[in-house]
């Protein structure tokens, strides 16, 4: 158990809909990263938040957004969903922002868009 909790574990929704994925980081970790894992693109970094502030964006679509709340949990919002958004979405947390800081991954949310 990494200490990172993601909910829900599975989500099935229709095209055009909006969903919210939730991540609770390890106790004390200030950084939250979101990643998308799909068969064609592999694991891709989406966005990084540190202590409530956005620190970096990766290959995140404009239809996607995220935020980190004062209690440090984070939410990833996916809107106007398309079939191609079906993927496993991972959250990872770390104590800091340094490149060498070990990131701990949750078990992911599997999103299926039908």
Partner 1 sequence: AQSVTQPDIHITVSEGASLELRCNYSYGATPYLFWYVQSPGQGLQLLLKYFSGDTLVQGIKGFEAEFKRSQSSFNLRKPSVHWSDAAEYFCAVALLSGGGADGLTFGKGTHLIIQP
Task: Return the SS3 of 72.
Answer: coil
Rg, C-alpha atoms of the chain: 13
Total number of residues that touch partner 1 (CB under 8 A) = 27
Residue with tokens 């800081």: 101
Which listed residue (21, 66, 72, 103) binds partner 1 by CB under 8 A?
Answer: 103
Residue 89 binding partner 1, by CB under 8 A: no
Neighbours of 27 (CB within 10 A): 8
Residue 20 binding partner 1, by CB under 8 A: no
Which listed residue (90, 93, 111, 113) binds partner 1 by CB under 8 A?
Answer: 90
What whole-number distance in Å separates Cα of residue 68 and Cα of residue 54?
A: 8
Binding site for partner 1 (CB under 8 A): 2, 4, 33, 35, 42-45, 48, 50, 55-56, 58, 90, 92, 97-108
């Amino acid at each position: 158990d990494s200490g990172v909790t993601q909910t829900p574990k599975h989500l099935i929704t229709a095209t055009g809909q909006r969903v919210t994925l939730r991540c609770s980081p390890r106790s004390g970790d200030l950084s939250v990263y979101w990643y998308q894992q799909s068969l064609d693109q592999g694991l891709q970094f989406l966005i990084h938040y540190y202590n409530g502030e956005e620190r970096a964006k990766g290959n995140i679509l404009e239809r996607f957004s995220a935020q980190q709340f004062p209690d440090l949990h984070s939410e990833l919002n996916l809107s106007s969903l398309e079939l191609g958004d079906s993927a496993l979405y991972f959250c990872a947390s770390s104590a800091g922002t340094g490149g060498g800081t070990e990131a701990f991954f949750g078990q992911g949310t599997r999103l299926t868009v039908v």
